[in-house]
Structure 1
Amino acid sequence: MKAQHPGLVLATACVCQVLVVLDVTLVNVALPSVATDLDIAPASLSWVVNAYTLALGGLLLLGGRFADLVGHRVAMLVGLVVFAIASVFGGVAQSPAELIAARAGQGVAGAILAPLSLTVLMVAFAEGKARSRAIGIWSMVAAGGSALGVLLGGILTESLSWRWVLLINVPIALAALLLAIFSVRNTHTARGGRLDVAGAILVTLSVSALVNGTIQAAGHGWGSSYALLSFLIAILAGAAFAAWELRVAATPLVRFGVFRARSVWVAQIVILFIGGATVAGFYFASLYLQDVLHYTPIEAGAAFLPFCFGSVLGAMSSAPLAARFGRRTVMTAGLLFGSAGMYLFSLADADSTFAGGFLPPSILASIGIGLCMVATTTMATTGVAEHEAGLTSGLLNAGRQIGGSLSLAALTTVAVSASTHSTALDAEHALAAGYSRAFLVTAAFILVAALAAATLTPPTPAPQKIKDKVKVA
């Protein structure tokens, strides 16, 4: 079923996606102020980001299924209302626990909105040029919003308070709410069945335990009882999730048959590593600018503007370049650019300047990531049946968020360890050494994604649709 106003649907999808991605970058630039105001230790600060990305990544598949069952408009309205309420609670938080809980609440709402923003496009636009163009605009707006969020976060933090990086979500959610009411039909792409809550709990528990174990290793060591217990829980919950989905669940959260489509599983591999590199990259770049180069929040936000323009340029160029040279070539080239940019970030130190140490890698990495993100998203949704729209969108977004959560936890450990063991004589050079090591790992992550894209991506879009039907109770 097609929406009545495809143009308005596209606008609604873009605002919803901006709301989801903006919330990560808005908070990143405010992290030093949050840490000071609420007295959060450096090793624990990543939970302000991870509480959001973990809830988002762990519940995305449930969110996609929820939207397919109750209808797209109803699900979108629910997600926007919950996002606004959680933002208010976060904006008035008086302790780290309250802020982290509010961030988790935003993640729950984002788990509905993120896959739904892509799903409504797949339903509103027929496969082909119209859908590719819509996805290109959606990706471009998301990329630009993500980067501009750092500038907005800096302005709000310095001129008002860090609390406004959360409160600003309320008017954005209300605007999206009005758009959704008038543009999105209450389409149901799944009939019958029920939500696989047990599956969502198991996968979220597994990923959360893995992230917690990595963070515990930073403070207590990899062989500590805290870390080992968390890793054991992660393994057991992961195994239980697989067994539940394959043998018990009446309506599985993940229908593993969808991975028979090569385009789907290759896109998942690529997006996992891209998410790991970009979420961690924004986090450490924000800290580097403020803690090492002593930029104000506004100056730090402005420093990300070249990244914003590069992301938009890459996203705009992706579709025409893919049409001329092929999706595999564009994805591989973009990822190689992104990896090179992250490597150049790793060379920056406490004596670097913006023009010499931050600007060149920003341009290279942003153009590369913009190029590959659009091509990867288009590949993942090509040939997917309409009733699989929520699942495919959820998988793609879940891969990016889970990859980001795991990477951020691991690289926080890497950065803290490198800073602690640095021979630098002052704090700025020691911090820079830790951030440099983290950026080096992000470069490796994107390089792995480039190798996967070059060797595994189908040379032409797969024409067949996935024929397996969603299993219903």
Structure 2
Amino acid sequence: MAVQDAASATEAAGSVGRDPRRWLVLAVICIAQLMVVLDTTVMNLALPSAQQDLGFSNADRQWIVTAYLLSFGSLLLFCGRLVDLIGRKETFLTGLVGFAAASAVGGAATNFEMLAASRACQGVFAALLAPATLALLTTTFTDPKERGKAFGAFSTIAASGGGLGLIIGGALTSSLSWRWCMYINLVFAGLAVVGGSVLMSRPAKRSGARLDVPGVVAVSGAMFCLVYGFSNASTHRWGTPSTWGFLIAGAALMVVFAFWQSRAQQPLLPPRIVLDRNRGGAYLTMLLVGAAMYGIFLFVIYYMQNTLGYSALRSGVGLLPMVGVVAVAASIGNIKLMPLVGPKPLVTAGLLLGGGGMTWLTGIHVDSSYAGALLGPLMLAGAGMGLIFSSTLRTGTSGVAPHDAGIASASIQTGQQIGGAIGLALLNSIATSATTRYVEHHVQGRPTPALIHQATIHGYTTVFWWCAGIFAFGAVVCGSLLRRGPLPTPGAPGAKPAATAEPAAQA
């Protein structure tokens, strides 16, 4: 009888406030999220064509990617709190319109400055849009079973969007023009603006809340310095003042931010958000996965194009099996497994699968075939990504009150952005050093093309070993940090109210 009462209470809690248009809202949210995630990679394959068309230098080329990452990563936490203060629908629509306008300017760019500025503006509005999408998802779906399905769809987009960006970028650049890598956003944004305007409700404003201005200044400055420092390390050296100086400044500002958050009356990032073991474990998982994913999306693409001679489009299509496995794993993880076992085993298994895939990739050679050397590892890593994203996105926003949904969503994506910046810098540096050492130890006279190819492969495999190590480290640390058992269900007997939930002393 007690079990039936508990089930009835859980079902009743999930039924309250259920939006009859919620599945259409989910489609709109996924379109917007796809647009944001695509733009982290879609321009990578278009850069050579854009550089030739606009005539900018190799030194300037990195800024087309870095400008987006800098503004996006720097403003995520600030914009996450704006979502909570201004409203989820308002920030969602504003982000869409601004992103579309910046994309239109970038597509019509006549010089480097115009293109770089548009990419920076894209990052600003992406920082507003990204936490709004996840916050809308969290607050729209209240029924536990439906929430699993919704997060499964969203997780698929979040985990595979980078790979889809490479595919779409290669296809648009090869068949039309690099400019369509920007113009395509107008299609996504237009659909989402119409759907969001018609389908989304406008919740009541939060009264009495104020913006933590010192916290905004400290964390935005810290994020800018960290992202810029790591981005600079990936293209220059760790020993240059523009690298270590910004990294030290970023670390110092993060200390100042943490100190201030424990004393501010209305902190930008309330400590209760990150000190919960489940949420903290989810944020750390996303940071580590953000770093290791560059081993797949960057160096596997390098291997396909520079060693195997694949075109941009063919190398993008080569990632499709991984994207498909991500979708299946994310769906199974959210709908079937999360309600039964919770995030701990899913995150641990996902990280171990990712590490296994990267270890498998260390067997590549100069003349390897796609089926023999890449297909299996990519599918294994894709299964890991699906399980990781299906559990962390849901866990990182679990147990928070609606008025904290935006900042909790931004915290997840901030971890991924910082992890990506670290991964790009660290793995580029490792690959370059390993390649150089291989040539020095094996060269006899002038380096031959065969030796250069072997050295390049050695650089790639060294990176894959490091990525496997990052995944393994994450499996131990994050798996230990996360609590056992399913996530607490709001409204179920014994569950704490979201607004007052604090970290529990549960093993």
Q: Quick check: 1:453 aligned with 2:478?
A: yes
CA distance in structure 2 between the partners assigned to 1:197 and 1:160 by the alignment: 45
Task: Tell me whether 298-307 or 190-199 shows the greater mean CA deviation.
Answer: 190-199
* SS, match of residue 44 in structure 2: helix
Task: Tell me whether 124-133 or 187-196 shows the greater mean CA deviation.
Answer: 187-196
Q: CA deviation at 1:139?
A: 1.4
Q: Deviations over 1:373-410 (max 9, x none)?
A: 10122222222222221121111111112211222122
Aligned to 1:378: 394
Aligned to 1:133: 149
Counterpart of 1:252 (choices 247, 267, 273) is: 267
Task: Tell me whether 61-70 or 89-98 shows the greater mean CA deviation.
Answer: 89-98
CA distance in structure 2 between the partners assigned to 1:52 and 1:377 by the alignment: 23
Q: Determine if contact 1:306/1:362 at 8 Å carries over to the other structure.
A: yes
Q: CA deviation at 1:337?
A: 0.7
Q: Quick check: 1:425 aligned with 2:448?
A: yes
Q: Deviations over 1:231-285 (max 9, x none)?
A: 33223322332334334x5532211122232211111111111111224531233
- One-letter amino acid of the structure 1 residue matched with residue 462 of structure 2: R
What pairs up with 1:260-299 in 2 under 5 angstroms?
Answer: 260-279=275-294, 281-299=296-314
User: Structure 1 residues 443, 12: closer, same or farther in 2, change over 3 A?
Assistant: same
Q: CA deviation at 1:127?
A: 4.8
* SS, match of residue 483 in structure 2: coil
Q: CA deviation at 1:187?
A: 1.9
Task: Tell me whether 410-419 or 101-110 shows the greater mean CA deviation.
Answer: 410-419
* Coordinate RMSD, CA, aligned: 2.7
Q: CA deviation at 1:414?
A: 2.2
CA distance in structure 1 between the partners assigned to 2:454 and 2:290 by the alignment: 27
Aligned to 2:369: 353
Counterpart of 1:111 (choices 127, 130, 136) is: 127
Q: Determine if contact 2:78/2:216 at 8 Å carries over to the other structure.
A: yes
- One-letter amino acid of the structure 2 residue matched with residue 404 of structure 1: G
What pairs up with 1:404-423 in 2 under 5 angstroms?
Answer: 404-423=420-439
* Structure 2 gap segments, 5+ residues each: 1-16, 440-446, 489-494, 503-507
CA distance in structure 2 between the partners assigned to 1:258 and 1:339 by the alignment: 29
Aligned to 1:52: 68
Q: Quick check: 1:75 aligned with 2:75?
A: no
* SS, match of residue 421 in structure 1: helix
Q: Determine if contact 2:234/2:424 at 8 Å carries over to the other structure.
A: no
Q: Quick check: 1:464 aligned with 2:496?
A: yes
Aligned to 1:365: 381
CA distance in structure 2 between the partners assigned to 1:59 and 1:356 by the alignment: 43
TM-score relative to the length of structure 1: 0.90
* Structure 1 gap segments, 5+ residues each: none
Q: Quick check: 1:176 aligned with 2:199?
A: no
* SS, match of residue 422 in structure 1: helix
Q: Determine if contact 1:280/1:404 at 8 Å carries over to the other structure.
A: no
CA distance in structure 2 between the partners assigned to 1:46 and 1:313 by the alignment: 34
- One-letter amino acid of the structure 1 residue matched with residue 74 of structure 2: G
Counterpart of 1:65 (choices 81, 100, 115) is: 81
- One-letter amino acid of the structure 2 residue matched with residue 333 of structure 1: A
Q: Deviations over 1:161-199 (max 9, x none)?
A: 222212211111111100100111122463333334553
Q: Quick check: 1:318 aligned with 2:343?
A: no
Aligned to 1:22: 38
CA distance in structure 1 between the partners assigned to 2:231 and 2:23 by the alignment: 44
Q: Quick check: 1:391 aligned with 2:407?
A: yes
CA distance in structure 2 between the partners assigned to 1:318 and 1:218 by the alignment: 34
Q: Deviations over 1:297-318 (max 9, x none)?
A: 1111111111111111111221
Q: Determine if contact 1:12/1:179 at 8 Å carries over to the other structure.
A: yes
Q: Determine if contact 2:231/2:421 at 8 Å carries over to the other structure.
A: no
Aligned to 2:13: none
CA distance in structure 2 between the partners assigned to 1:466 and 1:299 by the alignment: 47
| Overall identity of the aligned pairs, in % | 35
Q: CA deviation at 1:49?
A: 3.3
Aligned to 1:303: 318
CA distance in structure 2 between the partners assigned to 1:235 and 1:405 by the alignment: 14
CA distance in structure 2 between the partners assigned to 1:339 and 1:262 by the alignment: 23
TM-score relative to the length of structure 2: 0.84
CA distance in structure 2 between the partners assigned to 1:171 and 1:399 by the alignment: 29
User: Structure 1 residues 361, 200: closer, same or farther in 2, change over 3 A?
Assistant: farther
